[in-house]
Structure 1
Amino acid sequence: MIPSFWLSTLEPVTPRPPLPGDRSYDVAIAGGGYTGLWTAYYLSQLAPDLSIAVLEASYCGFGASGRNGGWASGLFPVSEAKLSGKYGSERARAMHAELADAVDEVGRVAAAEDIDCHYAKGGTISLARSPAQLRRARSAPGFLSAPEAKAICNATDVLGGVYSPDCAALHPARLVRGLASAVSQKGVDIYEGTRVLSLERGRVVTDHGTVTAGTVVRALEGYTAQLAGHRRALAPVYSLMIATEPLPAADWDRIGLARRETFTDERHMIIYGQRTADDRLAFGGRGAPYHFGSRIEPSYDQVPEVFESLRHTLTDMFGIRPEIAYRWGGPLGIPRDWMPSVGLEDGMAWAGGYVGDGVAAANLAGRTLADLITGTESVRTTLPWVGHRSRRWEPEPLRWLGINAALRATTLRDALEKHPAPAR
């Protein structure tokens, strides 16, 4: 695996020792990314007497937590309108309000634990750069005119935009590594280099021994499909990123993003970017293929044509031809209905399926799991995603055919909106 730009800027990671054989804990957490670590963090606060173990196959931050786009956002993959239709408007509003609060909570904890993760709450802007994109943007809260949008992010062909204050740019690897240290200091045992093989009620089987526990937590996100019996739970779909060399001040004077606002546009194929603390553009997007059988391999992190497409998109958006210093990627977890979930049933807890919007959502999930495990009543435990069960993905080859067909169709829709067919 080629490390992300974020991990490349840190000291080389020395994994903690693996599980030293069979052990017993009150809570065993499978996965040392944001979800697992936030769960351990808040559990250690709510119930300091609980014995807690975090089990991680590689090292904390190896997965999406150490390589994502660095957006701590209030975004949720299911719209408030759809949530309202199924769960009622009050619970839908509460879901989005709690996610917005989670953006601030990430910054608060980072400050309290002295984690220098380059947190900057500048909000996020989605640009409308075609007539079709503009039509979608006009119906969204926070719509901006073209001059208002360009004052934030002076990209090419801007016709309008949508702004939300509920987003912070940050350095994701600094956050996850700092969070792991904070959790360890609170008495939580973290075992790295320990691959979880199966989860059962009351125990976690690993390649270094078995952990028995009153509560078992699944927090594996994009790697869930590698777990026995979970091949069809979450589809591991790849998202790839690039980071430029630092841009000169003259380019930033023209581009903007003065408060390190994160940015995207209204196309269907998701793209996402931020201005880093050292003045690079870190930019990513979907488009890499899904691999048959939900396979995950290090070689899948590198897709030259996707990297070139991302570089071309930056040139198209900002009129620059940047030198690309880093290229990386990896899988994220997508549920069949795109609805993340959190839950606890009969001692088996889980959280995930964030569809790429997991930096702040994982914080909220960790707090929610801590409430559920300790029996603490809160607004969080009544949110729509609590107890939700997505139906499983189709068996192969239907899964491979369907996901990759959807990726191609999305690319085609964007091409048609950018270059519409001439009227007859």
Structure 2
Amino acid sequence: MSFTRTLRAVGGVAAAGALLFTAAPTASADYIRDGQWALDAFNPQKVWKESTGKNVTVAVIDSGVNGDHVDLKGNVLPGKSFAGDGGTADHETGDDHGTAMAALIAGHGHGPNRADGIMGLAPDAKILPIKTREIGGDNGIDGPIRYAVDHGAKVINMSFAGSSLNDLEKSAVSYALKKDVLLVAGSGNNGTNKPLYPAAAPGVLAVGAVAKDGKVLGLSNYGPHIRLIAPGEKIYSAGTSLKYRQASGTSDATAYVSAAAALVRSKFPDLTAGQVANRLTKTAITPDGKTGIKSPDPKYGYGVIRPYRALSENIPAGSKNGPLTMPKDSEPSAGAGADAPGNEAQGSASEEKSGLSPIMVIGIGVGVIVVLGIVIGVIVANKKRRNGPPPGGTGFGGPGGGAGVPPQQQFGAYPQSGGPGAYPQSGGPGAYPPAPPTQPPGH
């Protein structure tokens, strides 16, 4: 079933008006723009009336970006290369992966009315390109993440995967979280539940891919850490040696989620990174037409992003970290609140310093009072034995009764939800049928 068709709820009951995406096609003479089925499905004209990503910088940690591409020129900052060649990362001419991710996020098209080429979901966002050779080891992502944070990025797109994170990389992730930067990473392209990183790392918004038919892409990795899915099948984007490319995988889905996050951060600059993620998850829709689910599914998380609803619906800000599960060494107050989907309440900074929650403190106080009450009762009883009536009289609780003891307080830490999951890079090019054209915003 297509994204643009009405979905049916579980049990065969029609979910009236429940759409994964809506579309409002307009005329275009460019086959590349016409081929952007995913962008068209987001109904971008409505989205761009709410936000275009202005004043938000999205870091793209990847293979570097061709900032001279006609659809990106002016939207790409110099950035930095950590790949051993030194210099900036905005003149990539080889690997086109980073350029493709940047274009899906902040491409602005070209030609009359910018109706040709690749249009990103957040066309007024700025791209901070950061080139890295590999995840892990001496050329890992710790330096790139810290550079992104220190140079103003509010969203970091990571469309790559590795088997683990070293200690420096884990520390960099925590650094970004403490600085209120939203980390977005793909779940991977192995079609398994093997956890890959950084997507499976605590605090990272993990993304899976969905196909044009509305089903989760078969190659999309899955697991309990998945929070969102986005289009990842036969996605056109910008290239380097070739002007345009087409690919499938969670990399492209990740770029769309990063773009959606940039839109939300632009319109709601006072929201924390977790609250931005909360808007995206609360308005996402599952392939079977459900929205606002309480806990993420291993395959599709909370569902497919719906940027317009994330921008336009009245959604309470919620807890600081929303649906994100924080690492242990993040800020003391970084645990997701009780209202965050899929997470339990955690203690505040003062509680963590003392090691005692308010419930524990109250419980200890009650216990002290109870003990004092028992001691006083014993003293009074002894006194009555000496000065009062003989044994066998009517005491508290009747003959033979004794002082009641309140039920014992139960104490324990609230467990964090979430856990490791999986993920790798986007797939290669392939053919795909043309989709209805999309008109760019009035730039």
Classify the TM-score, shorter chain: under 0.3
Task: Give the helix-richer structure, 1 or 2.
Answer: 1
Task: Give the strand-richer structure, 1 or 2.
Answer: 1
- Which protein is bigger by CA-based radius of gyration? 2
Structure showing greater relative contact order (alpha-carbon pairs closer than 8 Å, 6 or more residues apart):
1
TM-score w.r.t. the length of structure 2 is 0.26
TM-score w.r.t. the length of structure 1 is 0.26
